[in-house]
Structure 1
Amino acid sequence: MGEADRNAEQGQSGAWRAVSAGPVWTAPGMPALLVMTAFGFSGHALLFPTVPLWVVTMGGNSAGAGAVNALLMLCTVLTQVLVPFALRRIGWNITWKLGMIFLGVPSLLHLLPLSFAGALALAVPRGFGFGVLTVCGAIAVAELVHPARRGKAIGAYGLAIAAPQAILIPAAPWVADNIGFTLVFVAGACPLIGWFLAGPVAPHVTSTSREADDRPVHGTRRRVRIPIQMFGPMLILLAVTAAGGALLTFTPQMTPNPTLVFTSLLMFTVISALSRWLIGAFADRYGTRPFVTPLIGLTAAGLSLIAWAVQGSGALQSAGLIAGMAIVGISYGALQNLTLLDTFAAAGRKRYGMASAVWNIGFDAGTGIGALLIGVIAAQATFSVAMLAAAALSILTLPLAVASARRR
């Protein structure tokens, strides 16, 4: 190990001791990371349900509305593959700042007269920015904390993601319907504020150029091999985020009642924020094994209840929709934390960059698949049938959870 590597390891050990000595919220680099994450995801949360609603308002159908978010997530996934390379070549500070620009500026461009094609085009840079934000954040939170407290740190990071979404995802469609799209698109530029926070975080995270799986060896590069143990958590995450992506995209279209839309999305986002945060302490104490399989079943149960609820418009169906959204919210939040822990455990510390990219690809591919697949099924059949399809997709991941538990 060279002098630079020894110094980096010593600095990382000092940061870990600081985390062990106090709350994870106050570890070096964590406050700036959490605030920047909150601003970045706030911009994403404002536009994710609003742009599809705008497409429908302008005369599009559910398939077109879903295509916008599907393209957004496709560009996110493609970017996530390249983020570790960008971190090695241009560094954390520049990479993160470019991500905030790509995420924030397109929101203001929605103020221009746009066609459906224009909304699709703006989804591309938004995906670039979101890909940078998600991978950098996941790597950073793993680098900043001791492994023994990583569950709590990921819970804090998850809360910084989910808390703004809990408020803004249900509020954005309501504001667009009752006040206008302009206010939402102006507020959606808030990731630009996060641009100023990239600098304070960067010195506290080590360079991914030290990852063993991508170092040159005798003049050549090692072949990058993804541990097979990563695929189970990724596919479990993909299924639950497909459900979440469908609900976040199409709840405003599943019921004509703006108040019910607001209440349902608020229940979903608040419950998912709390479950993602609180499950971390349980995972640190008991591991992930006792929780993953029951949460998959909970996802399918909640989606089935939603499938029944959207068939009617009575008070009982409205209550069923809210309850179903809450049930899915529990698994949606908790499984994000648990699958990230399992992915990091499978990777080992020298492959955190790879682990972050794999996990984020599962998350965002699932979100995009949910938006596209559910939109197409709903356009051809009904939203009730589409929700049952999402439930079936979740059930298909149960063998992965059982097999993973047996290996531990």
Structure 2
Amino acid sequence: MSADTPAGLRSAPFVALLAATVLAFGGYALLLPVVPVHAAAGGAAPGAAGATTGVFMAATVAAQLTVPAVLRRVGPRAAMVAGVLAMGVPAVLLAVTASLPVLFGVAVVRGLGFGLVTVTGAALVADLAPPARRGRAMGLYGVALGLPQLVLLSGGVWAYDVLGGAAVLLAGAALPLLASLACGRLPTRVVASPGDAAAGRTFPVRSAVGPWTAMVVSAAAAGGVITLLPLWTPGTGSATGLAGGTTTAAVALAVLTTGQLAGRGLAGELADRRTRTPAVVVGLVTGVGLLTVAAGAGVIALGGAGSGPVVLLGAALVGLGFGAVQSDTLLALFARAGPSRSGAASTWWNTGYDAGTGLGAAALAAVLGAAGAPTAFVVAALACVLVLPVPLAAVLGRRAG
């Protein structure tokens, strides 16, 4: 692998990582909005339906905290295999019941597997990519995450409504199991830091807390939007339902994911072109991303009950802003951690992403049940605005220095 060319991005391990990521995140994307819908179809209230995502993400975060140690002990290949199997095998039970205790139990096991997959995958990107092409590698990894979400995040909601739940839920179980086939080409050990246990534990909190906070809040807003759109479909233009019903929800999720892909890709390409004051650029892009997510959530709140096109515009803005925040916060964490602590940086970023997604899904679903969807979307927008001082402080601090 050369540090001067993108040859490392065409290596067998990197291609295998992208293939495993597409399949594993395909299962994740298919079931993320469908499990709450499945719970609601079984009689669960909106808050309980959204809590299935919250439980899944809580288990994900718990697992992510252990991954640096797991990588040092068993290596990335074994960690990825264990993760995709845990995501796929228990999901078969979803096809036979909508019982909340079962859904919660499956969510725990799947979440533990997803935690292994997310941190291991991001750490492998940092290990396998040449430093000069790390931004592009992050962009490609973002595409591998986003493409299955583009098709399945929205397509799953539509398929559940049209084809029935069993086929969709079984497909969500099968995709991670197929990912195990691609894991055979992954390295058996962490390349950059095989013996750096102390470094992973001593990554300073003050270096991580800014990007992590921005990631948590943007993920909470976006995760809440993703969870609420399929649940907010009982009417067809009424004050209690999304205009266009399930069709609009499915299209909006596709638009959101497209925006997310664009945001991640553009931010990754921008990163490779930074020659001066990268911390300022990171802070500015993260701040603009948060504002864009807030604007999108506000647009959905204003137009959801009466205008499908307005909902689609809002979804596009949420996705674009969230994608930019994802890419920039991950690159910021890797830059602050250094090559010897890529596992720790990946853990910080992934816990922010998944804790935020779970928190947003559970909290905003509860607001939906108590005060209606427009209020829930306004809460998401306000959260993003309130956290803006975090990236702006990084910009001002860099300029002051």
Considering the TM-score relative to the shorter chain, is it more than 0.5? yes
Q: Find the counterpart in structure 2 of residue 278 from structure 1.
A: 266
Q: Bigger shift: 243-252 or 132-141?
A: 243-252
| Cα displacement string for residues 108-160 of structure 1 (whole angstroms, at most 9, x for unaligned residues) | 12122341111111001110111011000010000111222211100000100
In 2, are the aligned partners of 1:144 and 1:204 still within 8 Å (CA)? no
Q: Find the counterpart in structure 1 of residue 378 from structure 2.
A: 388
RMSD (Å), alpha carbons: 1.7
Q: Find the counterpart in structure 1 of residue 324 from structure 2.
A: 334
In 2, are the aligned partners of 1:80 and 1:361 still within 8 Å (CA)? yes
> Relative to 1, partners in 2 of residues 1:297 and 1:214: Cα closer, same or farther, differing over 3 Å?
closer
Q: Which of 201, 205, 213 is the matching residue for 2:186?
A: 201
Q: Find the counterpart in structure 2 of residue 107 from structure 1.
A: 91
In 1, are the aligned partners of 2:153 and 2:253 still within 8 Å (CA)? yes
Q: Find the counterpart in structure 1 of residue 351 from structure 2.
A: 361
Q: Bigger shift: 27-36 or 170-179?
A: 27-36
Q: Which of 137, 141, 162 is the matching residue for 1:178?
A: 162
How far residue 353 of structure 1 moved from its aligned partner, in angstroms, is: 0.9
| Cα displacement string for residues 170-191 of structure 1 (whole angstroms, at most 9, x for unaligned residues) | 0001100111111111211211
| Structure 1 counterpart SS, 2:273 | helix
Q: Distance in 2 between matches of 1:303 and 1:242?
A: 12
Q: Find the counterpart in structure 2 of residue 251 from structure 1.
A: 229
Q: Distance in 1 between matches of 2:257 and 2:321?
A: 11
In 1, are the aligned partners of 2:71 and 2:189 still within 8 Å (CA)? no
How far residue 225 of structure 1 moved from its aligned partner, in angstroms, is: 4.7
> Relative to 1, partners in 2 of residues 1:114 and 1:52: Cα closer, same or farther, differing over 3 Å?
closer
1:47 alignment partner AA: L
Structure 2 unaligned regions, length at least 5:
235-244
Aligned positions of 1:191-270 closer than 5 A? 191-203=176-188, 205-206=190-191, 208-211=193-196, 213-214=198-199, 224-256=202-234, 257-270=245-258
Q: Find the counterpart in structure 2 of residue 6 from structure 1.
A: none
Q: Distance in 1 between matches of 2:231 and 2:197?
A: 47
> Relative to 1, partners in 2 of residues 1:16 and 1:61: Cα closer, same or farther, differing over 3 Å?
farther
Q: Find the counterpart in structure 1 of residue 80 from structure 2.
A: 96
Q: Find the counterpart in structure 2 of residue 303 from structure 1.
A: 297
Q: Distance in 2 between matches of 1:253 and 1:95?
A: 34
Q: Distance in 2 between matches of 1:406 and 1:151?
A: 24
Equivalent pairs counted in the alignment come to: 381
Q: Distance in 2 between matches of 1:32 and 1:225?
A: 29
Q: Which of 99, 108, 113 is the matching residue for 1:129?
A: 113
2:330 alignment partner AA: L
Q: Find the counterpart in structure 2 of residue 220 from structure 1.
A: none
| Cα displacement string for residues 182-219 of structure 1 (whole angstroms, at most 9, x for unaligned residues) | 1111211211111122221115742744226359xxxx
| Cα displacement string for residues 331-381 of structure 1 (whole angstroms, at most 9, x for unaligned residues) | 111111110001111111111111000110000000001011101111111
Structure 1 runs of 4+ off > 3 angstroms? 22-25
How far residue 107 of structure 1 moved from its aligned partner, in angstroms, is: 2.0
- TM-score relative to the length of structure 2: 0.91
In 2, are the aligned partners of 1:100 and 1:133 still within 8 Å (CA)? yes
In 2, are the aligned partners of 1:271 and 1:326 still within 8 Å (CA)? yes
1:126 alignment partner AA: R
1:368 alignment partner AA: G
Q: Find the counterpart in structure 2 of residue 377 from structure 1.
A: 367
Q: Find the counterpart in structure 1 of residue 242 from structure 2.
A: none
Q: Distance in 1 between matches of 2:35 and 2:12?
A: 37
Q: Distance in 2 between matches of 1:59 and 1:16?
A: 56
Q: Distance in 1 between matches of 2:195 and 2:99?
A: 45
In 1, are the aligned partners of 2:127 and 2:192 still within 8 Å (CA)? no
Q: Find the counterpart in structure 1 of residue 241 from structure 2.
A: none
